[in-house]
A and B are shown apart, each in its own frame.
Chain A
């Protein structure tokens, strides 16, 4: 069964550095999402992406965040200048259409030192 893949599984970065989290959505899916889960808290929506542009973003997704689909298969989340509070598990998801269930990757654990 096709699945969403995320790399790396764990990323350790110094505060203030840029980090790029990578995702390969399921190939025939058109909608892409990033969520994050701070340790012990709920999964929170960050951003959705469709037709090569952001569809919606939460208040968490401020100017330090950006997303890109650089080619036909990858979907990336960039955090420009990381802060301690960015430490979390970041999940990528994709869906075939806007109202279809989202399929999640296994996540990238981001640790900011």
Chain B
């Protein structure tokens, strides 16, 4: 069975500071992993994905994530937070069946302090 755990339901950082959002996964098969962002009253937008190629994945808006098999982690980082990064972030793992259903974490709300 596949699942993800996001540590920290709320994270606050100062504008310009490092953003680190944590995600650990559990999967019985090599996983596909995703980070999605949700702005208020909007749907889920794909930030980046890991699909067993390079372990360091670069996404949109300056975000990146590193797949670490030994730690079963896929933490999301951004070197310098911007006010526009304030949103809810969801980590998800795929079950890699033909339909590739996603299993989401509980989300982390990022607040950026000016």
Binding site for B on A (CB under 8 A): 4, 6, 31, 33, 35, 41-45, 48, 50, 55-56, 91, 93, 95, 98-107
| Number of B interface residues in the complex (CB < 8 A) | 26
Q: Which residue of A lies closest to B100 (CB)?
A: A98
A35→B36 CA distance, assembly (Å): 14
- When A55-B99, A104-B44, A106-B42 are in contact, do A99 and B94 touch as well, CB less than 8 Å? yes
CB–CB A33/B43 < 8 A: no
CB<8 Å pairs between A and B, sample of 27: A33-B101, A35-B102, A35-B104, A42-B105, A42-B106, A43-B44, A43-B92, A43-B102, A43-B104, A45-B101, A48-B100, A50-B98, A55-B97, A55-B99, A56-B99, A56-B101, A91-B43, A91-B44, A93-B44, A95-B100, A98-B98, A100-B100, A101-B46, A102-B46, A104-B36, A105-B43, A106-B41
Binding site for A on B (CB under 8 A): 32, 34, 36, 41-46, 49, 51, 90, 92, 94, 96-107
